[in-house]
Chain A
Amino acid sequence: MFYWIGAGSLAVVVCVPFFFMISTAFKSRGALMNIPMEWIPKEPTMEAFAKLFDVPYFIRSMGNSLYIAASCTAAQLLFASMAAFALTKIPFKGQKVIFSLFVTALMIPVQITFIPIFIILTRLGLTNSLNAFILFQFFNAFAIFMLRQRMLTIHDALIEAALIDGADWWRIFFQIVIPLCGGTLATLGILSFMSVWNDYLLPLVLLSDRAKATLPVILSGLSSQYKYQYDLMMAGALVSIVPIFVLYICVQGQFKEGMTVGGVKG
């Protein structure tokens, strides 16, 4: 009994804003401000979506978001696995020092470094560049940490055998270690894609050119440009959620482990 009351009321809390978003997105401008409120639009219309796709740079911003989410994810997975590989499988002095240095970086949030990052990229002439976001993925402490944990469980005998057979480190990395990390890489990939797709602060600061803006930046701009046109804003919110929602449903099985893994990130 308690179970159903609890489960039900939490589900309602989760759903109400989404319900309101969807219902508003299909209302006409006039129906928006009807009192009493129309819970379900009496005359549903796609007007808001048509207007939304006419908003300058809206469609383009979806492309931009897709581009940086995909390229940043690829870069993060590659570079973090390379680092984790060196920190676990190639014996050299300084492994521990470098790893603990990297871990301290987890304590420095982007909310503190976004101003100097803006300054550095301005100096490098890399503001308003989507590719600059790939640079941020050269080093990702969280991904290195997770992949290191995974690689520590790979038996060293496997590596030694390959070395004796004459394989070089690159071959060992790409043909032995990477395939064994599949699950962790998939989980990290999903988390990374979602976090880049949803990121707001850095794109807001670094991409002031509308043609380069990402979806969240254009979306937040709607609220000042199209004041009170909430049908438009809700349509925009809905459109931004759908791709990530579809991705989430597709990878849910994979994600079950990923969610608790991601919990360490904070």
Chain B
Amino acid sequence: MRNAKIRNAVMAFTFLLPSLLGFAVFSILPMLVSATVSLSDWDGLHELTLFDDAAGFFREYGVGLSHYAAIFRSAELWQTLGNTLEFVVTYVPLMLIAALGVGLILTQKRRGSGVLRALYYIPVITSWVAGALVWRWALSPEYGIVNAILDIVGIRGTMWLQSEDWAMPGIVLASVWKDMGYFGLMFFAGLRSIDQGYYEAAQIDGAGRVRQFINVTLPMLSPTMFFVIIISIINSLQIFPQVMVMTPGGGPGGSTMVMVERIYTRAFSYYQMGYASALSWVLFAVIFIMTFVQMKLQEGWVTYSV
């Protein structure tokens, strides 16, 4: 009996071995390395002696917490966070409306809804690099299709990615386009799970379609809504390929500098591995706080069906 127990444990360990190894080397170790390197001003070019002679490494490169102090004093951080906030407050509402639209349309069982579902999902399966290149060209002030369409409706287009004020909205447009099918499908799943009985009861009480939407659909959808908002905010904090490809170098006047782009630029253009590592911990903290705040808020306004 005891033998069998030990044999099982050994077997389980064997099956788990690749995952445990990967977990240790690519989840745990990176956190430790990142925390350590963030206390140094190692440049990524000199040989890294950290793993062989940690004391020597710190004698040579150690700077204590000074990167963190520098980050919080830097104008760059606040501009970066400001840009991110601008992204979040424009992207999230637009995306919610578009995605809710996708969800509502897909719940209508009509001819061609299968085709529509496939169509709305195409931007999601497209790589961000390809999508960003297309949008960069589509937003070209003189030759792009966006300004051409605006021109037809009689609106004068803007300079988009070349202007300090419009670069971020341009990135928001591309991101809404890319993500609405993804979140739309989540709404679709949420809408489908609403009990039809609620609608029947509302109809008997004489509620019209608008009232049904406000008093039945929205409250019943709030768990999905909550989930989508959290995920989309956390994703917003981590946008990268679209920013790198559409506005290389942080955009006009630094108007599209965002966290991951800054971390990448600091590490691989300025060779400040220490500073970049410290910055990634700041990002981690922000993500952590956002998740926590959202969890607390959730208690207030989400209706779970009983």
Contact = CB atoms under 8 A, between A and B. Distances in A.
A245 B19 CA distance: 31
B149 interface: yes
Interface residues of B, number: 95
Interface string A218-240: 01101110000010011011001
A75 to B, nearest CB: 8
A167 interface: no
A86 B16 contact: yes
A95 B119 CA distance: 42
Nearest to A137: B22
A252 interface: yes
Nearest to A218: B129
B8 A91 contact: yes
Nearest to A16: B145
A135 B18 CA distance: 9
Contacts of A109: 238, 287
A139 B186 contact: no
B249 to A, nearest CB: 10
Contacts of B13: 86, 92
A154 B120 CA distance: 35
A86 B149 contact: no
Contacts of B231: 266
Chain A contact surface mostly = helix
A179 interface: no
Interface hub of B18, B125, B273 (most chain A Cβ within 10 A): B125
Contacts of B63: none
B130 A237 contact: yes
A115 interface: yes
Contacts of B123: 14
B145 A138 contact: no
A162 interface: no
B15 A194 contact: no
Contact of B276 (A115, A117, A169): A115
Nearest to B149: A16
A222 B133 contact: yes
Contacts of A108: 27, 30-31, 284
Interface residues of A, number: 90
Contacts of A7: 105, 116
A248 B104 contact: no
Interface in B87-142: 98, 101-102, 104-105, 108, 110, 116, 118-123, 125-138, 140, 142
B128 to A, nearest CB: 6
Contacts of A82: 15-16, 18-19
Nearest to A23: B145
Given A6-B105, A17-B134, A80-B19, A116 B30 contact: yes
A169 B26 contact: no
Given A90-B12, A197-B127, A266-B234, A112 B120 contact: no
Interface string A185-226: 000000000100110110011000000000110011011100
B19 A83 contact: yes
A197 B129 CA distance: 11
Contact of A240 (B34, B127, B180, B241): B127
A1 interface: no
Contacts of B98: 10, 13
A176 interface: no
A216 B127 contact: yes
A111 B134 contact: no
Interface stretch (B162-170, B197-205, B260-268): B260-268
Contacts of A152: none
Interface in B205-261: 231, 234-235, 238, 240-241, 244-245, 248, 259-260
Nearest to A78: B18
B22 A115 contact: no
B105 A102 contact: no
A14 B181 contact: yes
B160 interface: no
A6 B51 CA distance: 58
A116 B277 contact: yes
A48 interface: no
Interface string B12-36: 1101101111110111011111100
A144 interface: yes
B79 to A, nearest CB: 19
A219 B129 CA distance: 7
Interface of B: 5, 8-9, 11-13, 15-16, 18-23, 25-27, 29-34, 37, 44, 48, 51, 98, 101-102, 104-105, 108, 110, 116, 118-123, 125-138, 140, 142-145, 148-149, 177, 180-182, 185-186, 188-189, 231, 234-235, 238, 240-241, 244-245, 248, 259-260, 263-264, 267-268, 273, 276-277, 280-281, 283-284, 287-288, 291
Given A107-B291, A112-B287, A237-B130, 13 more contacts: A10-B105, A16-B138, A20-B144, A37-B143, A80-B19, A90-B8, A92-B8, A105-B27, A108-B27, A118-B267, A216-B241, A240-B129, A266-B235
The 3 closest A-B pairs by CB, nearest first: A139-B22, A138-B22, A198-B127
